[in-house]
Structure 1
C-alpha cells in the first residue's frame, strides 16, 4: 500500500509518467485496476472512496494507492480521526464529548484514542525523525503534558515544517499523519520510519 494525493487525476498522471515507486523494490508502479469501493464518513457527510490499484513493473507486487484523506481500514476520513486526537491532546476532552461533537459512536472514538495512546511514543519518535529530515534547523516541539499530547504536537510541528520548506499555504495535520504513517496511524504496527509515501505534502 502506498499513500498518494487526493487528486485522482494527478495520481493517474503520475502513474502514466512512472513517478510512483514500489515500496518493496523501488520499481515503477503502473495502473492495475481498482480496489473495492466503499463509503468514507467525512466531516460533512459521506464520501465515495475507490482507491486505484497499481502493480510494480519490476517485482510484480500490487499495491493499493490510498489517498491522504483516508486511514487504512477506517470508515471515517482521516480529518475526522485526527480532529478527535487534537481535541484529546490540546483540550483534554473525554471520548464521550468528542463523540458527541463529531456525531460518531462513543465506542468508535474511544477506540481511536486508545489505539493512538498505545503507540504515542512510536508516533512521536517517527514524526520527530521526519521533522529533522525536512528542516535542517528545526524548532523541536517541547513537552505538551504527556505522551499522547507530545505525539500530536510532533505531527503538528512536521506539518508546519513541510509548509515552510515548500512554501505551501497550509499542510493539514491529517494529511501529514496519513502520508508519514502510510495510512497506518491507528493500524497494527503503527507508523514506521521506513514507510514509503507518495503524497503532495512534498511537491515534485
Structure 2
C-alpha cells in the first residue's frame, strides 16, 4: 500500500502534526503541553519525541547528506546540543535544498514535514529506520552513484 506524502508509516496522525509536535519539543515544550495543544494523547507525543531523540544523529546525517546531494551552496546548520533540534534543522536544510532544486509551481509547497516523509520513505519514526537508508523505499528515489562509489547529484538517472 502506498501512503501519501502527508503520512508517516505506522502513525495515525498527519506528518504536519507530528512535525509541529517535534518542533515544539525542540524549543523546550513538554509532551503534556504539546499533546494538549494538538489534542493528541501526551503519551503519543512522548513516544514521537523519544523515537526521534534516540536516532537523532542518524537522522541528522541522513538529511544533511540529502541536502548536500540535492542543493547548491547548502548551509549546514551547526549543532546546538539539542538532539531533536539538530535533527529538525537537518530536515529543514534538506527541505531548503530540495525546494530550491525541485520546487516551484510543478511541485507545490515543499514543507519540512513532507520532506521528512518523502526522504525517509515514510519511516522517520518507524522501527529500524535509518538502518536501511542505502536501499530505496516508498517515496524515496535512490541517489545516483558515480564510478568512484560516491553519491552525486550531478550523475544522470
Please give the range of the TM-score, normalised by the shorter of the 2 chains. Answer: 0.7 to 0.9
1:66 aligns to what SS in structure 2? coil
1:117 to 44, 50, 53: 53
Say if 1:126 and 1:193, in contact at 8 Å, map to a contact too: no
Correspondence 1:190 to 2:129: yes
1:181 aligns to what SS in structure 2? coil
1:67 aligns to what SS in structure 2? coil
CA distance in 1, matches of 2:41, 2:138: 31
Deviations 1:109-156 (A, max 9, x none): 111111111111110010011011101431111123322211010001
- Name the Cα RMSD after superposition: 1.6
Say if 2:71 and 2:101, in contact at 8 Å, map to a contact too: yes
Correspondence 1:147 to 2:88: no
CA distance in 1, matches of 2:53, 2:10: 18
Correspondence 1:130 to 2:71: no
Deviations 1:76-100 (A, max 9, x none): 11111111111111x2111011001
By percentage of residues, which structure has more strand?
Answer: 1
Structure 1's unaligned 5+ residue stretches are: 1-63, 200-204
Correspondence 1:79 to 2:16: yes
Please state how far the C-alpha of 1:197 moved relative to its aligned partner: 4.6
Deviations 1:39-91 (A, max 9, x none): xxxxxxxxxxxxxxxxxxxxxxxxx21111111111111111111111111x2
Q: How many residues were matched structurally?
A: 135
Structure 2's unaligned 5+ residue stretches are: 141-157
TM-score by length of 1: 0.62
For the pair shown, the structure with the greater C-alpha radius of gyration is: 1
CA distance in 2, matches of 1:185, 1:140: 20
